[in-house]
Amino acid sequence: MGLDFSPIILSLKVAIAAVIIVVLSGIPLAGLMARRDFPGKDAVESLFTLPLVLPPSVVGFILLWLFGKNGPLGQFLAQTFNVSVVFHISGAVIAAAVVSFPLMYQSVKAAMEGVDPTLENAARTLGSGEIKVFFTITLPLSWPGIVSGFILSFARSLGEFGATLMVAGNIPGKTQTMPIAIYMASESGDDRTAMMLVLIMTVFSFLVVFWLNRWSKRQKKSTAQDIGRE
C-alpha cells in the first residue's frame, strides 16, 4: 500500500493558513509593544508568549473550552455564522496559529527594538506620520526578524500535535495532519508509514532550520560589510 499523502497536504494547508494569521497579527502587535509603554504591558506580553511554555494539552483544553459548543466563542460562531471549528480544519488552523504566534511575536519585537530610534525620529521631523514611519523605516529594517519569525512559525505550525488533536480531532482526510498521522500509525503498529512520515518531516524541518541559519549568517555578513564601507 502506498503512502497516503493527504496528511502531508493537509499539514501544509494548515501551516500556510496559520502563518498568514500569525503574520497579520504578530507584526502590528510586536510593533505596538516595541514602541509603546502602558499599564499592564508586562501582563499582556506574558499572555502573548504563554502558549510557548504551556503544555500543548493545556493550550488545546483552553481552545476547546473557548470554541466548544458551550464555550463563549463557540456559541457566538454557531449563533452568528452557524459554524463550528471543533473537529474541523479551521480548529487545526486556530491551534497551529496560537502555538506558533509567540515565535513570530518575539522575533519581530526583538528586531523592531533593535531599530535605531533616531532614524524613526528623523522621519517624523520630516513630516512622516506614525504609519508611514512604520512601513518605510521600522518594517524594512526589521526584515531579518520578520523572515526568521515567519520561517519558525511555519515550521512550528507544521509540527503542531497536542492542541490540534484536542480541538480538531483525528479525522482522516479532514483533520488528520502529519504529526497526528505519525502518532496513529505508530499506535496501530504501522511502523513503515510512521517512519516515512517522520523522515519527511525531519528532512523538511532540517532544511528549514539550515536555510534560516545560512540566511541569517549572510545577512549579518552583509550588514558588517555595509558598516565597514561607511
Is residue 1 in some structural domain? no
Q: How many CB atoms lie within 10 A of CB 56?
A: 17
Is residue 208 in some structural domain? yes
Local confidence band at 227 (pLDDT 50, 70, 90 cut-offs): very low
Does residue 229 have a pLDDT over 80?
Answer: no
pLDDT of 34 reads 87
Among 184, 203, 205, 202, smallest CA distance to 193 is for: 184
pLDDT in tens, 174-211: 999 999 999 999 988 888 989 999 999 899 888 888 88
Which residues form the domain of 186? 6-229
CA distance linking residue 153 with residue 113, whole number of Å = 20
Identify residue 198 by its one-letter amino acid code: V
Q: What is the mean pLDDT of residues 58-70?
A: 92
CA distance linking residue 218 with residue 160, whole number of Å = 29
Among 71, 65, 79, 54, smallest CA distance to 167 is for: 65
CA distance linking residue 30 with residue 12, whole number of Å = 25
pLDDT of 153 reads 93
Q: Which residues contact 117 (CB under 8 A, 6 or more apart)?
A: none
Mean pLDDT of the chain: 88
CA distance linking residue 73 with residue 64, whole number of Å = 10
For residues 19 and 215, the model is more confident at: 19
pLDDT in tens, 83-137: 889 999 999 999 999 999 999 999 999 999 988 888 888 888 888 888 888 888 8
Q: What percent of the chain has pLDDT over 90?
A: 45
pLDDT of 44 reads 92
Q: For the chain, what is the domain count?
A: 1
CA distance linking residue 230 with residue 224, whole number of Å = 10
CA distance linking residue 137 with residue 40, whole number of Å = 28
Q: Which position has the grid cell 561607511? A: 230
Extract the C-alpha cell encoding 25: 497579527
pTM beyond 0.85, yes or no = yes
Q: What is the mean pLDDT of residues 9-37?
A: 92
* CATH code of the domain in which 130 resides: 1.10.3720.10
